[in-house]
């Protein structure tokens, strides 16, 4: 791991970097919270309020995140793109507006599917979750034996004799 320590040229530069790091960290926390199905809307709202306060304070002192001075200071950070993505910047008018992450959920957590009515429904779930046909998982989802699943999917999947794995009709 390569660590680079940046020593700001002056106090103002240090404050800019600290402010952008704070906003970046809040954004990353907010994204993580949105992906967690156990986080409540109230908790997300509180984090958005924190993001708004940090952003508004930064912009009042240092201008938009897209301002050249800010971009130059932060462009070495691997999350610089993430930071700039929270702002919609108009190059012509040199104005920035907040993106939806400041006011609403922008990512939905994926809730795992635990049951399927039919083997074909289980097949769709298997393809989405694993990117392949997982007969044991389809069996688990449907409550049917693997033999029953294979029988029900007879016209939708085929066993590839070379790979000994199942493929959809389209792949085969």
**8, pLDDT greater than 70:** no
**Considering the entire predicted model, what is its pTM?**
0.67
| 51: pLDDT strictly greater than 80 | yes
Residue 4 in this model has a pLDDT that exceeds 60:
no
**Tokens representing residue 163 in the block:** 């790979």
Phi/psi of residue 88, each to 5°?
A: -100, 110
Express the helix, strand and coil content of the chain in percent, nearest 5 each.
50, 10, 40
Q: What is the pLDDT of residue 5?
A: 53
Rounded CA-CA distance 37/62 in Å is 35
When the pLDDT of each residue in the chain is averaged and rounded to a whole number, the result is 92
**Residue 6: its pLDDT value, please?**
54
C-alpha to C-alpha distance for 89 and 120, rounded to whole angstroms: 46
pLDDT of 69 > 60? The answer is: yes
Residues 6+ apart with CB under 8 A from 64: 70, 87, 89, 94, 95, 96
- What's the confidence (pLDDT) of residue 172? 65
Looking up tokens 């990353």 gives 28
Instruction: State the Cα–Cα distance between residues 104 and 169, nearest whole angstrom.
Output: 41
Residue 153: how many CB atoms within 10 A of its CB? 21
- H helices within 75-118, ranges in order? 80-85
pLDDT at 111 over 80: no
What pLDDT is stored for residue 7 in this prediction? 55
3: pLDDT strictly greater than 80: no
Tell me the three state secondary structure of residue 90: strand
Nearest to 116 by CA among 131, 134, 98: 134
Q: What is the pLDDT of residue 2?
A: 45
Q: What is the pLDDT of residues 124-158, one digit of tens each?
A: 999 999 999 999 999 999 999 999 999 999 999 99
Q: For 101, which DSSP code?
A: G
CB contact at 8 A, 117 and 132: no
Is residue 1 scored above 50 in pLDDT? no
């Amino acid at each position: 791991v390569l660590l680079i320590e940046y020593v700001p040229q002056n106090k103002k530069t240090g404050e800019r970097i600290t402010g952008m790091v704070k906003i970046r960290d809040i954004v990353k926390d907010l994204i993580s919270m949105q992906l967690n199905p156990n986080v409540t809307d109230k908790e997300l709202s509180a984090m958005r309020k924190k993001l708004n306060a940090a952003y508004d304070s930064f912009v009042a002192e240092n201008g938009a995140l897209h301002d050249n001075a800010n971009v130059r200071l932060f462009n070495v950070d691997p999350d610089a793109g993430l930071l700039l993505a929270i702002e919609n910047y108009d190059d012509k008018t040199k104005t920035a507006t907040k993106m939806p992450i400041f006011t609403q959920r922008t990512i939905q957590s994926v809730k795992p599917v635990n049951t399927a009515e039919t083997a074909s429904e289980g097949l769709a779930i298997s393809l989405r979750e694993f990117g392949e046909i997982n007969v044991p998982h389809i069996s688990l989802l449907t409550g049917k034996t693997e033999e029953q699943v294979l029988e029900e999917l007879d016209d939708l999947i085929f066993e590839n004799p070379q790979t000994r794995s199942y493929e959809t009709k389209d792949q085969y």
